Amino acid sequence: MKFGCHVSIREGYLGAARQAATMNALAFQYFPKNPRSLSVKAFNQDDAALCKDFCKKNNLTSVAHTPYPTSLTPRDNRKRKEVMQSLVNDLEIANACGSIGVVVHFGKIISLDDPLASYRLMIDVLNEILRKWHGDSKILLENTGGKPGTMGTTLEELVQVRNLCEHPEQIGFCLDTCHAFASGLWDGDNWEAVLEKGQALNYFSHLKVIHFNNSKYNTGLGKDRHANIFDHGYITESQFDQLVQTPELKDIPFILETPKEEIPHQVEIRQLQERWGLPTLTY
């Protein structure tokens, strides 16, 4: 099991990797640039290369996350151009750092009159981006935490969007446990059914990262509010047990996006290692 958390790039990409290492993590996530901007970053190639080398030597897996304004369903041509330029930039940075991919939130509804319009736009945007991209890092589509039935809350949608793109081999998935719980995809007691459906759809073959979060609200309410894994949310340890111990997930990095103000990530990573039998690591 590869447990880790989101870390800052305040000290650069190598600094982010070192920060993760000091926490005894085996994985980490980072924003490749300002998380509140779609501006293209002229990044330090040497720093990225050092990050990649450090991760390789220390058995660290990294993944990037797009800035908050990134949308795969932009509402106008100006925003569409900004999103595409920014996402290609994110992929370039992730690739230089040796990261497995860039997590991108699923699109949102743009037309109540035409429910399929959002999916068509999403596929068009992904196609245009991936025609320009030939690196190893993938786009990782993340499930959303809306109410049941809203866009991006089912495995079928994620898989079908990937299948309909021109370059599905450049697309993977990110499963957020809080989002899955909030949307009712996983209600805590139906993991076996989720696993069976995911296997039938070939979802797990392309799952590259898990956002490992508890939920401050009960399942099916569509409220995306992350909580710490132990004793701070509605998902119980025994329910997490079923997920964590799934053979299909044994090589997938589990990234915490939990409130570090309540429990520091280093402490929570240690709790995860102790709970699921991982030894303390030494760097």
Residue type, 173: F
For the stretch 225-238, pLDDT in tens is 999 999 889 999 99
Reading the block at residue 199, the tokens are 């296997």
Torsion of CA 103, 143, 223, 6, to 10 degrees: -30
Q: What are phi and psi of 113, to 5 degrees?
A: -75, -30
Q: How far apart are CA 28 and CA 246, in angstroms?
A: 21
Give the gyration radius of the chain's Cα atoms. 18
DSSP symbol at 151: T
pTM: 0.95
Work out the number of other CB atoms within 10 angstroms of the CB of residue 23: 22
With a cut of 60, say whether residue 18 has pLDDT above it: yes
Fold adopted by 34-249: TIM Barrel (3.20.20)
Q: What is the pLDDT of residue 115?
A: 87
For the stretch 85-104, pLDDT in tens is 999 999 999 999 999 999 99
Q: Can you tell me the mean pLDDT for 21-39?
A: 96
Reading the block at residue 228, the tokens are 């710490």
Q: How far apart are CA 259 and CA 265, in angstroms?
A: 8
DSSP symbol at 281: P
Q: What is the pLDDT of residue 278?
A: 55
Q: What is the pLDDT of residue 1?
A: 87
Work out the pLDDT band at 279, boundaries 50, 70, 90. very low
Query: By C-alpha distance, which of 234, 251, 178, 228 is closest to 3?
Result: 251
Contacts of residue 179, defined as CB under 8 A and 6 or more positions apart, other chains included, come to 142, 143, 144, 145, 153, 185, 211, 224
CB neighbour class for 156 (10 Å; exposed up to 12, middle 13-18, buried from 19):
exposed
Q: How far apart are CA 213 and CA 267, in angstroms?
A: 15
With a cut of 90, say whether residue 277 has pLDDT above it: no
With a cut of 60, say whether residue 217 has pLDDT above it: yes
Mean confidence (pLDDT) of the chain: 95
